[in-house]
């Protein structure tokens, strides 16, 4: 059985997608989501047998990618799947921090291990209406607060490219499930890099959309106005189809954006030639592994060449530092959620969450809030100035390859000491500013994936998908980790 590769074609024409000859039904589909739907429609595979193969593979897996399975409900849905719908019959993973009525609502924490969700998120209702089969929950970091997936509730989740390494976080279980060949698509959320970071660590496509592109909730709090939701996928067209289905305003989220159509149909049509781009190895003052950057810089030059971009080097790309105000205000929101349990619950929190609450206890107030807003304004102004001079920013998704699945967060990157705070520096700016960014698989270092992060102005996700598609077509990447 051939391992599929994104963008590959057997007929010698412009590469788009691998051709498969599937003679087995005891293995989940190893291609992308769109090709699975096509196989359903051709009658080559049924949603029920695909779901059975999926559950069997999850049961055999040592990745710890799933923490809850809704077997009976999923099978009933699969048996009645309408494969004419965009995701008709496709099993998908649901990030542990998302909500499905009747499923666990734990926030990946022992504190809430017995809590049950009382509503279903708008994104998942739309996915269901489009035919998706919700398999169960994929593991997350506790409260989505750290970029590795290891909790006291579920243990450590592993990277399918190299066991013992993290798939990242907080959407780490989703990344492990998709890259590990268990499901073709899983949901994710990105409040500080939690889609792009795990996508980068596992060789997947991870689009953080413009803030509000897909509505959150019902019942989601706004917090620092940084969190967007979406998916982790094996191909660009899978991501485009997800946004076709899930984007658009919902009254439960008054900050969500109006609907935009044509995401998948528009692939291959967005002009890129002549757009100005800056390649920034130290985006946000990050320290990036020199060995990894050598691979990514060549990949960036390749993307510039194939897309006809124009590289500019005379633009000031420095950003203001946010300081501790962002983390202090985030921890204040968590402290409120844990108000009836803290500090008695300290010993059943992950070390990162416990340390964050202890370190920021009593620090949040009018001064901290004012500093955060002042720094957001400063960053907004700086980002606007940058996008006056460039159309596209290219950097890394992560400062180094995936680290230990058990942690702790690394403080050294390719031999360069930079401190643990360096881990999310590359991704935070797009969350604060609210503009889109995408992680594109770009190669490997020491047998682990590395990825380009490409960012653009608000509302220009189709441009990012176009650039990712150009890279996918010219340098097809493995859709799943090598077995």
Catalytic residues: 95, 170, 194
Matching residue, tokens 């059943």: 348
Query: DSSP characters for 147-214?
Result: SS-EETTTEE--BTTBTTB---SSSHHHHHHHHTTS-SEEEEEESSSTTHHHHHHHT-EEEEPSTTSS
Q: Cα–chain-centroid distance for residue 419?
A: 24
Which of 337, 323, 330 shows the shortest CA–CA distance to 376? 323
* Alpha-carbon distances of 345 from 11, 323, 438, rounded to whole Å: 60, 28, 37
Instruction: Tell me how far apart the alpha carbons of residues 193 and 262 are, in angstroms, rounded to a whole number.
Output: 26
347 C-beta neighbours (distance < 10 Å), count: 9
Q: Are 331 and 360 in contact (CB under 8 A)?
A: yes
Q: Are 437 and 191 in contact (CB under 8 A)?
A: no
Instruction: Tell me how far apart the alpha carbons of residues 171 and 272 are, in angstroms, rounded to a whole number.
Output: 30
Cis peptide leading into residue 2 (ω within 30°): no
In the three-class reduction of DSSP (H, G, I as helix; E, B as strand; rest coil), residue 412 is classed as strand
Within 344-393, residue ranges assigned H as helices are 351-360, 366-389
DSSP 8-state class, residue 253? B
* Alpha-carbon distances of 480 from 103, 154, 278, 449, 466, rounded to whole Å: 28, 24, 30, 11, 22
């Amino acid at each position: 059985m051939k391992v599929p590769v994104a963008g590959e074609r057997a007929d010698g024409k412009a590469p788009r997608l691998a051709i498969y000859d599937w003679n087995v039904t005891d293995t989940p589909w190893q291609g992308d989501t769109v090709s699975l739907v096509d196989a359903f429609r051709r009658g080559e595979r049924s949603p029920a047998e695909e779901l059975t193969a999926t559950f069997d593979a999850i049961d055999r897996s040592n990745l710890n990618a799933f923490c809850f399975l809704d077997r009976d409900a999923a099978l009933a849905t699969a048996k009645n799947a309408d494969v004419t719908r965009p995701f008709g019959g496709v099993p998908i993973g649901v990030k542990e921090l998302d909500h499905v009525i009747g499923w666990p609502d734990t926030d990946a924490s022992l504190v809430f291990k017995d809590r049950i969700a009382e509503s279903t998120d708008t994104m998942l209702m739309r996915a269901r209406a489009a035919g998706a089969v919700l398999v169960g929950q994929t593991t997350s970091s506790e409260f989505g607060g750290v970029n590795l997936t290891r909790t006291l509730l579920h243990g450590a989740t592993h990277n399918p490219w190299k066991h013992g390494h993290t798939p990242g976080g907080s959407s780490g279980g989703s990344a492990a499930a998709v890259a590990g060949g268990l499901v073709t698509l899983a949901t994710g959320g990105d409040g500080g890099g939690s889609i792009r970071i795990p996508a980068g660590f596992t060789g997947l496509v991870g689009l953080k959309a413009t803030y509000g592109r897909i509505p959150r909730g019902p019942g989601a709090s706004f917090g620092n106005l940084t969190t967007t939701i979406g998916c982790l996928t094996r191909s660009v067209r899978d991501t485009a189809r997800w946004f076709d289905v899930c984007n658009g305003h919902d009254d439960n989220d008054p900050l969500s954006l109006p609907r935009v159509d044509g995401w998948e149909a528009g692939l291959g049509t967005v002009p890129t030639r002549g757009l100005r781009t800056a390649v920034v190895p130290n985006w946000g003052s990050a320290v990036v592994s020199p060995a990894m950057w050598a691979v990514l810089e060549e990949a960036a030059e390749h993307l510039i060449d194939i897309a006809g971009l124009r590289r500019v080097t005379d633009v000031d790309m420095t950003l203001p530092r946010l300081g501790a105000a962002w983390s202090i205000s985030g921890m204040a929101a968590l402290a409120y959620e844990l108000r009836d349990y803290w500090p008695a619950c300290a010993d059943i929190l992950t070390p990162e969450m416990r340390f964050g609450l202890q370190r920021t206890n009593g620090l949040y107030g009018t001064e901290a809030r004012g500093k955060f807003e002042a720094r957001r304004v400063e960053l907004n102004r700086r980002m606007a100035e940058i996008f006056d001079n460039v159309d596209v920013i290219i950097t890394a998704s992560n400062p180094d390859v995936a680290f230990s699945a058990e942690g702790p967060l690394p403080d050294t990157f390719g031999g360069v000491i930079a401190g643990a705070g360096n881990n999310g520096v590359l991704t935070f700016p797009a969350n604060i500013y609210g503009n889109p960014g995408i992680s594109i698989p770009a190669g490997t270092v020491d047998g682990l994936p590395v990825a380009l992060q490409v960012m653009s102005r608000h509302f220009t996700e189709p441009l990012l998908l176009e650039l990712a598609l150009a890279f996918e077509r010219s340098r097809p990447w493995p859709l799943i980790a090598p077995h």
